[in-house]
Amino acid sequence: MVAVLAGLLPASAEPPAAPRFLLACAPCHGFDGIGHDDRTPNLAGQHRDYLYGQLVAFRSGQRKHPQMNFFSGQMTQEELQAIVDYYSALSGR
């Protein structure tokens, strides 16, 4: 069904390709960017600069969250940007 619908969407409406590191993010933030519980923020549709700033703050330790500090520290700058580009391009709720 999704493949059929995807063929009907203009190229600009197609979802972005999922970056490799999304597998680390999806258990909490979902592939669709919607958090799985009330404590997990939705990332879909957030502004790029905001998301990037938060990831950099987790990476530097300025923001504290064990999983986010670990995963953001394992990503390259390019991977961080790919995650930001992916989630900011999704439609938020």
For the whole prediction, is pTM greater than 0.95? no
Element (H, E) at 10: none
Residue 8 inside a domain? The answer is no
- In the chain, the number of structural domains is 1
pLDDT band at 15 (very low <50, low <70, confident <90, very high): low
Residue 2 inside a domain? The answer is no
Buried b (16+ CB within 10 A) or exposed e, 34-46: beeeeeeebbbeb
The pLDDT value recorded for residue 7 is 46
Residue 30 inside a domain? The answer is yes
Range of the domain at 41: 16-89
pLDDT band at 16 (very low <50, low <70, confident <90, very high): low
Residue 23 inside a domain? The answer is yes
Nearest to 90 by CA among 36, 37, 17, 7: 17
